């Protein structure tokens, strides 16, 4: 059985307490992940304590999935907090869809589990006195584009980051954003120890953590809009109903917005993705208008801690391909730090990025059509400048390319922001 035993909320710290009882091994494990953040103003903390507690509880249930997945207990006992049938259904859906990659790669069936809870008292809906824009920034090209679009539109920006990387800080500096909210999220090392003992490990829906934490901080500090940078391509899965980017998809965004409305009311922070109507190809084309970011942005998960591109993974190759639509080979190589496009050993990854009927890499990459369009543009560019084609561009399977650029109407961009995308 897995139990959410308690949480402790103070103006500058939030601690969760989970217990995992593995009856098969006769062992009990305890976890206490911690969040720390700038002190919430006392007036807001006291006035909105009920809403903050509800938001903290929901963040805890989202944080819980990282620990619960180690053993996939059939019972999740909630000993604190208000919970309803609607919330149980919402989180069950989040767990199953958000762990689709984890289940696929661990060759596991969809887990059967139930939340056990007593119910409790629903939150009294109120006005949270919100203004301004909280913008999650990861240090990649997408959030850089969002920053620049908002800047050009004259909108105020507070950059938000969990455990901010150097690239995150650098991109905010380039955008001349001095108003920032940096928070620290600490994973309990006991979970890492369990992984060494043979308990399950794998991908979890981190963007759901970003979503729930941003609502918590939106209420805590008074932000009206939470503006994400997730694009339409996040809706495309990898294989067999598996989507590495589920918690960046419009499906999650729609469900999450409804959750916030049901639990916190229509006056709660407005969570939406500004770039949802755009493809990754369109976003990269916009990004290239801001060359000041080229030496600063980072998207490689493996190189995040060292502020580098590893030059050896699917994400690095994907970015190299997208850049190649706009830059010659030597400039792409200078950014990534390796000439991946002329290395035949990466052909299987390239096939996954663009060829039909292949498994798309389990990374935050664009659609296969995005990649095919980039390859086509890269070939045209090299013909124009008289540069030979690197191996991967020459042999890429782009037979399924569709060049039409669509403005995805399945989005939640408020009318006052739509003009930024014209």
Place of tokens 């809906």: 125
Q: What is the DSSP letter of 242?
A: B
Give the torsion through C-alpha atoms of 269, 270, 272, 274, to 10 deg.
Answer: -100
Residue 351 DSSP SS3? helix
Q: How far apart are CA 293 and CA 286, in angstroms?
A: 12
DSSP string of 30-64?
Answer: EE--EEE-SPPPHHHHHHTHHHHHHHHHHHHHHHH
Residues for the chain: how many in total? 422
CA dihedral for 348, 350, 352, 355, sign (positive or negative): negative
Are the C-beta atoms of residues 420 and 227 closer than 8 Å to each other?
no
The dihedral of CA 236, 238, 242, 245: what is its sign?
A: negative
What confidence score (pLDDT) does residue 307 get? 95
Considering only CA atoms, give the Rg of the chain: 22
Tokens of 395: 């042999």
Tens of pLDDT, residue by residue, the chain (422 residues) = 999 999 999 999 999 999 999 999 999 999 999 999 999 999 999 999 999 999 999 999 999 999 999 999 999 999 999 999 999 999 999 999 999 999 999 999 999 999 999 877 788 888 999 999 999 999 999 999 999 999 999 999 999 999 999 999 999 999 999 999 999 999 999 999 999 999 999 999 999 999 999 999 999 999 999 999 999 999 999 998 999 999 999 999 999 999 999 999 999 999 999 999 999 999 999 999 999 999 999 999 999 889 999 999 999 999 999 999 999 999 999 999 999 999 999 999 999 999 999 999 999 999 999 999 999 999 999 999 999 999 999 999 999 899 888 899 999 999 999 999 98
CA 145 – CA 277 distance, rounded (Å) = 13
Task: Give the pLDDT of residue 406.
Answer: 85
Rounded CA gap, 57 and 6, in Å? 9
Rounded-to-integer distance, Cα 213 and Cα 190, Å: 22
- pLDDT for res 404: 83
Tokens, residue 164? 């901010």
Beta bridge partners of 65: none
């Amino acid at each position: 059985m897995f139990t959410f035993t308690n949480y402790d909320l103070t103006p500058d710290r939030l601690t969760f307490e989970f217990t995992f009882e593995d009856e098969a091994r006769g062992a009990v494990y305890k976890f206490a992940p911690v969040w720390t953040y700038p002190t919430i103003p006392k007036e807001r903390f006291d006035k909105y304590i009920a809403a903050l507690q509800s938001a903290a509880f929901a963040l805890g249930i989202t944080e819980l999935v990282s620990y619960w997945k180690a053993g996939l207990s059939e019972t999740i006992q909630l000993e604190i907090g208000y919970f309803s049938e609607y919330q149980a259904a919402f989180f069950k859906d989040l767990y199953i869809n958000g762990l689709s990659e984890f289940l696929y790669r661990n060759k596991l069936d969809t887990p059967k589990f139930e939340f056990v809870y007593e119910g409790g008292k629903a939150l009294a809906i109120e006005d949270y006195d919100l203004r301004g824009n909280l913008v999650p920034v990861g240090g990649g090209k997408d959030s850089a584009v969002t920053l620049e679009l908002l800047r050009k539109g004259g909108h105020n920006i507070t950059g938000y980051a969990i455990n901010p990387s150097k690239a995150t800080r650098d991109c905010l500096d380039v955008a001349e954003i001095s108003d920032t909210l940096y928070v620290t999220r600490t994973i309990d090392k006991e979970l890492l120890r369990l992984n060494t003992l043979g308990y399950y490990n794998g991908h979890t829906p981190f963007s759901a953590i970003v979503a729930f934490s941003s609502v918590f901080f939106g209420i805590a500090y008074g932000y009206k809009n939470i503006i994400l940078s997730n694009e339409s391509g996040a809706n495309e899965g990898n294989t067999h109903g598996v989507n590495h980017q589920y918690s960046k998809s419009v499906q999650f965004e729609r469900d999450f917005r409804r959750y916030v409305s049901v639990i916190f009311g229509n006056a709660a922070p407005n969570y939406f993705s500004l770039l949802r109507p755009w493809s990754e190809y369109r976003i990269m084309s916009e990004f290239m208008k801001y060359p000041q970011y080229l030496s600063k942005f980072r998207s490689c998960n493996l190189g995040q801690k060292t502020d580098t591109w590893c030059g050896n993974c699917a994400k690095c190759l994907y970015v190299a391909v997208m850049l190649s639509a706009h830059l010659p080979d030597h400039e792409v190589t200078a950014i990534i730090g390796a000439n991946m496009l002329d290395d035949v050993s990466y052909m299987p990854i390239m096939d996954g990025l663009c060829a039909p009927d292949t498994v798309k890499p389990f990374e935050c990459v664009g659609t296969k059509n995005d990649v095919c369009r980039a390859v086509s543009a890269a070939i045209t560019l090299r013909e124009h400048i008289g540069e030979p084609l690197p191996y991967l561009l020459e042999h890429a399977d782009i037979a399924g390319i569709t060049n039409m650029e669509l403005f995805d109407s399945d989005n939640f961009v408020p009318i006052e922001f739509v003009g930024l995308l014209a």
